[in-house]
Amino acid sequence: MGSDQFTRAEIEAGRNLFASNWQFVAAAGSPASLPVMKGVEIAFAGRSNVGKSSLINALTGRKNLARISRTPGRTQELIFFNGGDRLNVVDMPGYGYAAAAKSKVAAWTALIDAFLRGRSNLARVYVLVDARHGLKPTDDPALDALGQAAVSHQVVLTKCDEVKPADLAGRIAAVEAALAKRSAAFPTVLATSSHDGKGISELRAAIARLLAERKS
**DSSP per position, 64-122:** TSS---SSTT---SEEEEE-SSSEEEEEPPPB--TTS-HHHHHHHHHHHHHHHHH-TTE
Q: What is the mean pLDDT of residues 183-192?
A: 95
Regarding beta strands 23-28 and 78-82, do their DSSP bridges make them parallel or antiparallel, or are they unpaired?
antiparallel
Domains of the chain: 3-215 (3.40.50.300)
CA distances, 54 to each of 26, 104, 159 (Å): 19, 24, 10
pLDDT value at residue 100: 61
Residue with the larger pLDDT of the pair 99 and 212: 212
Are 102 and 130 a contacting pair, CB within 8 Å?
A: no
Q: What is the mean pLDDT of residues 82-104?
A: 80
Which residues is 78 bridged to in the sheet? Answer: 28
**Is residue 193 very low, low, confident or very high in pLDDT (cuts 50, 70, 90)?**
very high
Q: What is the mean pLDDT of residues 170-182?
A: 95
**Is residue 90 very low, low, confident or very high in pLDDT (cuts 50, 70, 90)?**
very high
pLDDT value at residue 121: 95
**Is residue 75 very low, low, confident or very high in pLDDT (cuts 50, 70, 90)?**
low
**Is residue 63 very low, low, confident or very high in pLDDT (cuts 50, 70, 90)?**
confident
Measured distance CA(44)–CA(87) in Å, rounded: 13
Are 125 and 152 a contacting pair, CB within 8 Å?
A: yes
166 has a pLDDT exceeding 80 = yes
Residue with the larger pLDDT of the pair 182 and 4: 182
Measured distance CA(193)–CA(81) in Å, rounded: 21
Q: Is 160 helix (H, G, I), strand (E, B) or coil?
A: helix
**111-149 tens-digit pLDDT:** 899 999 999 999 999 999 999 999 999 999 999 999 999
Measured distance CA(153)–CA(124) in Å, rounded: 5
**Is residue 3 very low, low, confident or very high in pLDDT (cuts 50, 70, 90)?**
very low
H or E element at residue 53 = helix 52-60
Measured distance CA(128)–CA(189) in Å, rounded: 10
